[in-house]
């Protein structure tokens, strides 16, 4: 982190403002779209199904990511005027925990949705409520467990190169950091990615045999790779090389890419579906929805 009274190393005032503006756009877009998804689930009885509960879990996680981006955007603007991180060391730890929790929740919820769709299309049976609730509880308990470990000494939260947000400290090349990172990456990135890829692959094969390939089976896995792959590459490279050789601007790229995931997920899992469209329309036009129900 840059010292108080100075800009972050490697960034000009204009660059800090530019990053803050990008984060603000990403945050507001993600918040708006995922808030519509959550509101439609709460207001529309037809959407209160076990399958849509998994989508709700994803929307909640992505809302958290967008809130994290909003704090980072606000901090970027404050850094230009006040030249310091405005929330102190405890604020950094809290923000790091919140960001890591919701990021893991988003990744694991995507994997849960993939498995749920595989179950629906390949077994031709609806997902049971107890199964969906159990999946959501497992997703959030697992995410909270891994996000709490850096607060307990395994891993560490610290400022990102811009000094406007906090994440896992990947600059430490010690054994504690390496063991945590490799274990965390396996269970919270590569395993969910494997579940997502295999679930959609088996589902695609099943639907091709029946001649009813109506589901996009490539976008979810590509979203995981696009959104979180750069972070995975940066973290894993930190276990074998000195990340100080990587420019601060380049180190900020994974964070900016990851903050686009809430918008992509909202479009892919919720706003691209007719039933959710109907739910959102009912939320935005309550008088029209009451007339439709009266008919």
**CATH (domain of 239):** 1.20.1070.10
Calpha distance 93→207 (Å, rounded): 46
Whether residue 206 is contained in a domain is answered as yes
Domain that holds residue 163: 13-293
Q: What is the structure's pLDDT at 200?
A: 85
Q: What is the structure's pLDDT at 280?
A: 65
Q: What is the structure's pLDDT at 206?
A: 75
Whether residue 25 is contained in a domain is answered as yes
Q: What is the structure's pLDDT at 84?
A: 67
Q: What is the structure's pLDDT at 82?
A: 61
Q: What is the structure's pLDDT at 162?
A: 83
Q: What is the structure's pLDDT at 265?
A: 94
Q: What is the structure's pLDDT at 75?
A: 86
Q: What is the structure's pLDDT at 291?
A: 46
Q: What is the structure's pLDDT at 2?
A: 46
Number of domains into which the chain is organized: 1
**Tokens 């991180």 identify what position?**
85
Whether residue 59 is contained in a domain is answered as yes
Cross-strand bridge partners of residue 168: 157
Q: What is the structure's pLDDT at 240?
A: 84
Calpha distance 268→65 (Å, rounded): 17
Cβ-contact 139, 191 below 8 angstroms: no
Q: What is the structure's pLDDT at 212?
A: 61
Nearest residue to 46 (alpha-carbon basis) of 278, 287, 292, 294: 278
Whether residue 3 is contained in a domain is answered as no
Listed as ranges, residues in the chain with pLDDT below 70 are: 1-7, 80-84, 173, 210-217, 272-295
């Amino acid at each position: 982190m840059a010292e108080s009274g100075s800009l972050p190393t490697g960034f000009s005032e204009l660059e800090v403002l530019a990053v803050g503006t990008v984060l603000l756009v990403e945050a507001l877009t993600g918040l708006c779209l995922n808030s519509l998804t959550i509101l439609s689930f709460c207001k529309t009885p037809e959407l209160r199904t076990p399958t849509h509960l998994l989508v709700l879990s994803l929307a909640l996680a992505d809302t958290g990511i967008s809130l994290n981006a909003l704090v980072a955007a606000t901090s970027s603007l404050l850094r230009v005027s006040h030249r310091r991180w405005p929330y102190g060391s405890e604020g950094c730890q809290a923000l790091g925990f919140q960001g890591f929790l919701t990021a893991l929740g988003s990744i694991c919820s995507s994997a849960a949705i993939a498995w749920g769709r595989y179950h629906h299309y390949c077994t031709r049976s609806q997902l049971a409520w107890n199964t969906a609730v159990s999946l959501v509880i497992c997703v959030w308990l697992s995410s909270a467990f891994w996000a709490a470990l850096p607060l307990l000494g395994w891993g560490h939260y610290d400022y990102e190169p811009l000094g406007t947000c906090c994440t896992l400290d990947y600059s430490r090349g010690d054994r504690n950091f390496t063991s945590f990172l490799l274990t965390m990456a396996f269970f919270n990135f590569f395993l969910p990615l494997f579940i997502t890829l295999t679930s959609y692959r088996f589902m695609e094969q099943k639907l091709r045999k029946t001649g009813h390939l109506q589901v996009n089976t490539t976008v979810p896995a590509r979203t995981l790779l696009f959104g979180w792959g750069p972070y995975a590459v940066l973290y894993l490279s930190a276990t074998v090389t000195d990340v100080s050789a990587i420019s601060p601007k380049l180190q900020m790229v994974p964070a900016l890419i990851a903050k686009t995931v809430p918008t992509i997920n909202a479009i892919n899992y919720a706003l691209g579906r007719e039933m959710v469209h109907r739910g959102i329309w009912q939320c935005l036009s309550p008088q029209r929805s009451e007339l439709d129900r009266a008919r």
